[in-house]
């Protein structure tokens, strides 16, 4: 009933797992932090207990309901211009998905009575890929994204952590096989090996999270990306199955599709505000986006 309701609300897929300590992921996270692969994202060092065990995050947590929402755009930017990651084309996914998750939580409460829980979209210490994997929605590929055999990886992930006991799904196996297209295609060497990312070398980090200057060592390496990067997803064969964003709030502002290089270089603060008023691109701020453009131009 929960899964069918999730689909009717517009989610692509839904999987459910028992809430508890994530043993393997806790070890991996410790090592990732120890090696400094998180760059300046120091917030990742906080809330280790909550990050690895949702029962420390939500009182009485019994189950994690993972949900995915597709964002592959039907129309894309012109080919000869600066690029922004496809996840940021439409309205900020945090806002869109939060509202859908709230609807699902209300449904659970109405249907079963007295259900309490919380919704999360990349906004609190929840390891969303690990939970989605546990719930059988896909496997974590060599590019460190969650991959679905049915839908590829161009989707957002969110969760409801609830105090209900439910029926649980089981994980699926890894279908990357001998492929290593993502590793070979990564222009900055951020994928240092299968299933290993050095976020401090990743274009997504360098163009969004990194607040200082972009290190000179990366000049000339990262093509046309000015906000995020999709290369390791674009080359993944499983993304031939990517599903289009159907949600009306995820459709791009028409100007985003038509901006030329010169338009980007001359983008005014007002035009930036108009195009990205509700978009995740606001995270980089106008100054950040212009820094990224200047680095490439």
Catalytic-residue membership of 169: no
Q: Which of residues 255-274 bind ligand SF4 (CB under 6 A)?
A: none
Distance between CA atoms of residues 203 and 188, nearest Å:
8
Residues 7-46: x where in contact with ligand SF4 by CB under 6 A, - otherwise, as a string: ----------------------------------------
How far from the centroid of its chain's Cα atoms is residue 57's Cα? Answer: 21
Q: Which is nearer to ligand SF4, 65 or 197 (CB)?
A: 197
Query: For residues 204 and 231, what is the distance between their CA atoms, to the nearest angstrom?
Result: 11
Judge whether 153 and 176 are in contact, CB under 8 Å.
no
Count residues binding ligand SF4 (CB under 6 A): 24
Q: Shortest approach of ligand SF4 to residue 238 CB, angstroms?
A: 6
Binding mask 142-161 for ligand SF4 (x = CB under 6 A): xx---x--------------
Place of tokens 């508890």: 20
Decide whether 168 or 195 has the Cβ nearer to ligand SF4.
195
Q: Tell me the C-alpha to C-alpha distance, in Å, between residue 220 and each of 18, 96, 216, 259, 262.
A: 46, 35, 9, 22, 19
Burial 228-248 (b: 16+ CB within 10 A, else e): bbbbbbebbebbebbbebebe
Judged by beta carbon, residue 109 or residue 174, the one nearer ligand SF4 is: 174
The catalytic residue among 40, 103, 109, 122 is: 122
User: Which CB, 118 or 142, lies closer to ligand SF4?
Assistant: 142
- DSSP lists the bridge partners of residue 225 as 83
Query: DSSP readout, 258-286?
Result: H--HHHHHT--HHHHHHHTTTSGGGGGHH
Residues 193-252 that bind ligand SF4 (CB under 6 A): 197, 202-204, 229, 231-232, 235-238
Q: Which of residues 160-189 bind ligand SF4 (CB under 6 A)?
A: 176, 179-182, 186, 188
Q: Which residues sit at the interface with ligand SF4, rule CB under 6 A?
A: 141-143, 147, 176, 179-182, 186, 188, 190-191, 197, 202-204, 229, 231-232, 235-238
**Which active-site residues does the annotation give?**
122
């Amino acid at each position: 009933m929960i899964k069918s309701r999730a689909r009717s609300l517009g989610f692509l897929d839904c999987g459910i797992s028992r809430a508890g300590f994530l043993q393997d992921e806790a070890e991996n996270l410790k090592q990732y932090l120890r090696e400094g692969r998180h760059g300046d994202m120091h917030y990742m060092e906080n809330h280790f207990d909550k990050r690895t065990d949702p029962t420390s995050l939500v009182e009485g947590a019994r189950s994690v309901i993972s949900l995915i929402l597709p964002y592959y755009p039907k129309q894309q930017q012109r080919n000869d211009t600066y690029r922004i990651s496809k996840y940021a084309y439409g309205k900020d996914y945090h806002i869109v998905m939060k509202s859908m998750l709230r609807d699902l939580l209300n449904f659970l409460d109405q249907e079963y009575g007295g259900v309490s829980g919380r919704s999360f979209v990349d906004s609190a210490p929840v390891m969303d890929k690990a939970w989605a994997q546990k719930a059988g929605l896909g496997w974590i590929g060599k590019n460190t994204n969650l991959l679905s055999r049915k839908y590829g990886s161009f989707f957002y992930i969110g969760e409801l952590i609830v105090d209900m006991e439910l029926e649980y799904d089981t994980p699926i196996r890894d279908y990357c096989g001998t492929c290593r297209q993502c590793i070979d295609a990564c222009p900055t060497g951020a994928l240092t090996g299968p299933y290993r990312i050095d976020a401090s070398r990743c274009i997504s980090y360098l163009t969004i999270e990194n607040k200082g200057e972009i290190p000179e060592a990366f000049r000339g390496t990262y093509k046309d990306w000015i906000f995020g990067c999709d290369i390791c997803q674009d080359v993944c064969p499983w993304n031939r199955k990517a599903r289009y964003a159907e949600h009306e709030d995820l459709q791009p502002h028409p100007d985003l599709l038509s901006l030329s290089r010169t338009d980007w270089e001359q983008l005014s603060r007002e035009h930036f505000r108009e195009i990205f008023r509700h978009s995740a691109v606001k995270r980089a701020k106008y100054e950040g986006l212009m820094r990224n453009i200047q680095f490439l131009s």
